[in-house]
Structure 1
Amino acid sequence: MQVEEHDIVDKLVIPPQPEVLRVVVAESRREDPDLGRVARHIAGDASIAGGVLQIVNSPLFRRAREISSIQQAVMLLGFNRVYAIVRTVALRNAMAQYPGMAAFWKRGVHVAESAARAARVIKRPDLVDEAHLLGLFHMVGIPALCSLMGDEYVALVKAAPTKGWSALLPEEMRLFGVQHPRVGALITQRWHIPPAVVHAIDQQYAVDQITHLGTLHEDVPDLVVILKLALRFATAVDASLMTYAEWSISSEHLVDYLALPDPAALDALVDEVAMQD
C-alpha cells in the first residue's frame, strides 16, 4: 500500500488541535504574551494541565520544590518554556489512540530526558527544550504508520530492534512510498513544533551529511548529535533503541563533527550524559 507523501497527514487520524494550544500559539505571536490568559486556558483543560504539571515536575527542570499550580508554572518558567511544554502535551494526547503508544511514550520519555542532558554536555543548554521535544517525537512516525498501514507495517517494525531502525528506510520506501522520519516531520510540523526539531526528525539518520544539515536550520546538526548521544546512553536501559552497528557508523561522523581526537572521547561524552543531574 503506497501513499503519496503530501496525503500522509490527511490520512492519519489526528484530532484537531485543542483550544488551549491555539490560544498559546496566538499569544506567541504577540510582542508581550498575556501570561495570565495563558495560565487560565491551560488550567481550564484538565488533560493539558495535568500533563504540563507532570513535565514541569520531572527531572528535566531540576526543581527543588514541586510546582503545584499552572499559574505558578507559567510565572516561574516563563512563556517560552510553557509554550514548549503545551505543544508536547497536546501532541502526546492527540496521538494516544495510535497502536503501541504506551511503550512508545515510555521509551520516548527516557530518550527525551537523556537528550536534555546531552544538550548540556555539548554546551548547548539553549537547546534543552528542543532536545526534549526531539527525544520524545523523533520516532513518532512509527506508531503513525502502524495505524495507517496495518499489519504489513507492524511486521516490518518487529525486525527493526535487531536490524537497526535505519534499516527500515529502504523497505519503507519500497513498500509504502514513504519513510517514518518524514512522516514524523510532517506530523510535528502541523503541531507548531520548532522548525529545527522538525528538520532534525526528518534528517535524524543523515549523520553522514551532518555538516550540511545546517543549511536547513543552524541548530539541526547539533540536535542530531544530541539525539545520537541520547540514544547511545539510553541503550543501557533499552537496547532496542540503537544497534551497536548503527552507533559505530554514526560515531565516525560525530567524532569528526565535534572535532574530537578519537572515538574514546565520544564515549566519554556519552558517559558524561549520566553525570548530568
Structure 2
Amino acid sequence: MHGNAVNAEKILGSIQLPACPAIMLDIMSEARKEEPDFNHISRLVGNDAGLSAAVLKLANSPAFRRNSNISSIPQAVSVLGLKKVMLAVNTLFLRNSVSMKDPAAKAFLEKFWDKSSCTAEAASMLAKTLPGISIEDAYTIGLFHDSGIPVLMQRFPEHSFDETLHESDWENTHREEESRLGTNHAVVGNMLARNWGLPAHVCQTILNHHDMSIFTDLSHQISTAVRNFIAVLILAEHMASVFMGLEKESALGQLPTHAHALNHIGMEPAEFHEAALDILGEMRQYRH
C-alpha cells in the first residue's frame, strides 16, 4: 500500500482534496471543551439552512430516530449528541464537495451519493444488532468508503466509474483502477478521511475495504475493529444495492464476499437475510 499512497499523493498533486468544512472545525473545537455549549452548536447549525435540514433529516432517520418526530434544531442537537451532529455535517458537505459540469457525470454523482447515504443508514442499522460495533462509526464508513471516487472523477474525467455502483466484482474494482489510473479510490478515500480528521480506525477501514485477504490472511496487521467494520460495510453496501434496485433481493447474503463478512461476524446467511429484510423494510417506510 505504501507505494500506492506515494503514487496517489503525486497524482492528487494536480487536484484539490475537498477541504474540511469550517463549521466542522468550529463544532469539533466546541466538542473538545470540558463542557460543550449545545446552544452555541445549535446556533452554528441553525445559521445554515442546508445543515439544519441535514441535522433534522438525520434525527428523524430510521438509524437514529426516537418515538416522536423531532422538529427543532436545539431538540435535534440534544437528542443526537455531538458525534451524530458531526455525521450530518459530513453528509452534507461531503455531498457538496465535488461538482461536475458534465450532465452524465452529474447524474452519476446523484446516484452515487444516494447509494452512499443508503449504505451509511444500512451499516448503522446492522451495527445496532451486533455487539460492540459503533453505529456512528459504521455510518461514517458507509458514507466515506467510496468518497475517493468523486475526487478521482475530477482528475480522470474520461474514466467511467459507473461499474462501481454495481457489486459485480468487489475485489477487482480497485485493481482495475490501479492499472488504469495508478491509484484507487480506497487510497484516495483514506487520504480524504485523514484530511477531514476522521479517527484512525475509520481511515484504516476505508483504505482496506476492498481487500478480502484481511479475512483469510491471519498475519494481516489489522485490528479486529477494522475487520468488523469492513464486514458490516460489505453487507450494508449490498443492502443499499437491493434498496436502489441495482441487485436482486434473493442475492442477500449469497455472494462470495458475503461469506467472508458473515463468517467474521458469526451470522448465518438465512439469519442475515431476515435481518436485511427488516432493515430494508424500515428504510423503505422512511423514504416513502
* Partner residue of 2:87 out of 79, 84, 88: 84
In structure 2, relative to structure 1, the CA distance for the partners of 1:176 and 1:116 (3 Å cut) is: same
| Alpha-carbon shift at residue 223 of structure 1 (Å) | 0.7
Contact in 1 for aligned 2:8/2:182 (Cα 8 Å): yes
The match for 1:145 among 152, 166, 169 is 152
1:15 to 1:170, Cα distance in 2 relative to 1, 3 A? closer
Q: Give the aligned partner of residue 286 of structure 2.
A: none
Partner of 1:12: 15
Please name the residue that 1:52 is paired with. 55
Q: Is it true that 1:34 corresponds to 2:42 in the alignment?
A: no
Do the aligned partners of 1:12 and 1:148 also contact (CA within 8 Å) in 2?
yes
Aligned residue for 2:169?
164
State which of 274, 278, 281 in structure 2 corresponds to 1:271: 274
* SS at structure 1 position matched to 2:68: coil
Does the 8 Å contact 2:20/2:195 carry over to 1? no
Distance 1:43 1:194 in 2: 26
Conserved 8 A contact 1:11-1:148 = yes
Asked if the contact 2:186–2:208 (Cα under 8 Å) also holds between the matched residues in 1, the reply is yes
The unaligned stretches of length 5 or more in structure 1 are none
TM-score norm. by structure 1 comes to: 0.82
| 1:208-227 residue CA offsets vs partner (Å, 9 max, x unmatched) | 21376995555211111111
Partner of 2:243: 237
Partner of 1:226: 232
In structure 1, give the amino acid aligned to 2:202: V
Equivalent position amino acid for 2:121 in 1: E
Contact 1:91 1:191 in 2 (8 A): no
- Structure 1 residue aligned with 2:208: 203
Query: Normalized per residue, which structure has more helix?
Result: 1
What is aligned with 2:285? none
1:15 offset after TM fit, Å? 4.9
Amino acid at match of 1:122: L
What's the % identity of the aligned pairs? 25
Matches for 1:45-124 after TM superposition, within 5 Å: 45-97=48-100, 99=106, 100-124=108-132
Residues 110 and 234, structure 1, Cα contact 8 Å, conserved in 2: yes
Distance change >3 Å, CA 257–CA 62, structure 1 → 2: same
